[in-house]
Structure 1
Amino acid sequence: MTYAAWGFFVLAALTDWHAVYRENKRLETIAKPATLVALILVALSLGASDTSPGRWLLFALAFGLVGDIANLGDSESRFKMGLGTFLIGHLGYLVCFSELGLPRPGWSWAVFGVLILSMIWTREVTPSTHRQSGLALSAPVVAYTLVIAGMLILAWFTGDWLIAVGAAVFVVSDSVLSMNRFVRPIPHAQLAIMTTYHVGQALIVAGVLGWT
């Protein structure tokens, strides 16, 4: 069951990446949510529903799925809806990682270097969103940034390298998205966003549920 679920996930993800690359919106409408559904099936097959961290992981993935569906539209209202659902999902990750325990090994403190690099690269995002839409958009973006920063820190503090790398890759996805949407166009941004998003989530699932 687990290998079949992973196979479904890989197939759905590759299909979605192909759809994004080809700008095939019809195919992406199917493949994008199917990829998160497949990842939820992976988590369930690994026993996520049997443990508290696993249940919070499912919570986070479920809100990620809702966010994916919301972001199939390009309007600002759909973006805000997606932002809100992903924020809730990241709160789920915060609880999930806390439930795993936070031993904070020596290498985990390097997360602050990762965080600083991310902040430097995306430093123009908040001013740009404020110029474009005022506090109505810049305030939610700041709130989301703080939550995902917390998610990244706790991911590294779990001491599990899969979770740490997965969270870092997830932050790359969000950073590319925000830079591309609010600051300046990035070549092949949508493909970069989706590949890092799916890989990051998959690594987190594997790390939380001990699948290696």
Structure 2
Amino acid sequence: MLSLTVLVAVLTAADAVADWACVWFGRRRIHYLTKPLVMVGLIALTLLVGDGERAAWWLVVALFFGMLGDISMIGSSPRRFLGGVALFFVGHLAYAATFLALGLDARTWSWAGFAVAVVLAIPMGRVLRGARQMGGPPMAVALAAYALVIATMLVLGWLTGSVWIAVGALVFVVSDTLIGLNLAEHGNAPPRLTNVQIMVTYHVGQALITAGVLLALV
């Protein structure tokens, strides 16, 4: 079992690096395959190590909806982008359920998550204006709701007391913040989702969260 787990972890990491290279070199068609495969690898790791724990099953749900969100955002239409936002919204709710299932540890340093959430909310005005330009009030409302749920995920992640989860949640939010700033700059079209910085922070964030949850369960 250990050797299989190590093999899956290595293959997942290799796929992530390959995806970043595809983004760097503009290999979009391969990127559309390698990006969701990272989520498949993380799901496999969770099933191998999670031992059927409730938090592990919630983590599988979160990763699964992240994978669906990746697939939904293939293409460049506002409709597909909004569909991806909805899928990631569910995924973040599942992450929140994962952290609650692990249990919250209200250490003093953990409450810094609230401060981080406030700081990352500063550019939201620009993001919502860009969303309104792209898809009108419905898009702006959808992104406002998404911002609320991801902020909740971030705070709960910090309150687990796990450094792995706290850092992973922060890096994941940084990735979404980069997408939001991209949207603010190009509000008349869906944001470019193939920046290397966005992909690296996206994958690293989810990998750290997964590692933190699994380490808490073993």
Give the TM-score normalised by the residue count of structure 2.
Answer: 0.91
Partner of 1:19: 22
1:120 aligns with 2:130: no
* Superposed displacement of residue 127, structure 1: 2.3
Residues 118 and 189 from structure 1, CA distance in 2 versus in 1: closer, same or farther, beyond 3 angstroms?
farther
- Paired letter, 2:85: L
The answer to whether the 8 A contact 1:176-1:189 is kept is no
* Superposed displacement of residue 119, structure 1: 1.1
1:197 aligns with 2:199: no
5+ residue gaps, structure 2: none
Mapped to 2, the partners of 1:102 and 1:19 lie a distance apart of 38
Cα RMSD between the aligned structures?
A: 2.0
Q: 1:59 aligns with which of 51, 58, 61?
A: 61
- Paired letter, 1:18: A
Please show how residues 1-212 of structure 1 align to structure 2 within 5 Å: 1-47=4-50, 50-183=52-185, 190-210=195-215
* Superposed displacement of residue 27, structure 1: 1.1
* Superposed displacement of residue 29, structure 1: 1.7
- Paired letter, 1:142: A
The answer to whether the 8 A contact 2:179-2:192 is kept is no
Residues 122 and 189 from structure 1, CA distance in 2 versus in 1: closer, same or farther, beyond 3 angstroms?
farther
- Paired letter, 1:196: T
Residues 99 and 180 from structure 1, CA distance in 2 versus in 1: closer, same or farther, beyond 3 angstroms?
same
The answer to whether the 8 A contact 1:70-1:78 is kept is yes
Mapped to 2, the partners of 1:187 and 1:16 lie a distance apart of 15
The answer to whether the 8 A contact 1:180-1:189 is kept is no
Q: What percentage of aligned pairs have identical amino acids?
A: 40
Structure 2 counterpart SS, 1:210: helix
Residues 77 and 151 from structure 1, CA distance in 2 versus in 1: closer, same or farther, beyond 3 angstroms?
same
Mapped to 2, the partners of 1:97 and 1:42 lie a distance apart of 18
Structure 2 counterpart SS, 1:56: helix
The answer to whether the 8 A contact 1:177-1:189 is kept is no
- Paired letter, 1:203: L
The answer to whether the 8 A contact 1:155-1:163 is kept is yes
Mapped to 2, the partners of 1:45 and 1:124 lie a distance apart of 42
The answer to whether the 8 A contact 2:129-2:184 is kept is no
- Paired letter, 1:195: V
* Superposed displacement of residue 79, structure 1: 0.2
5+ residue gaps, structure 1: none
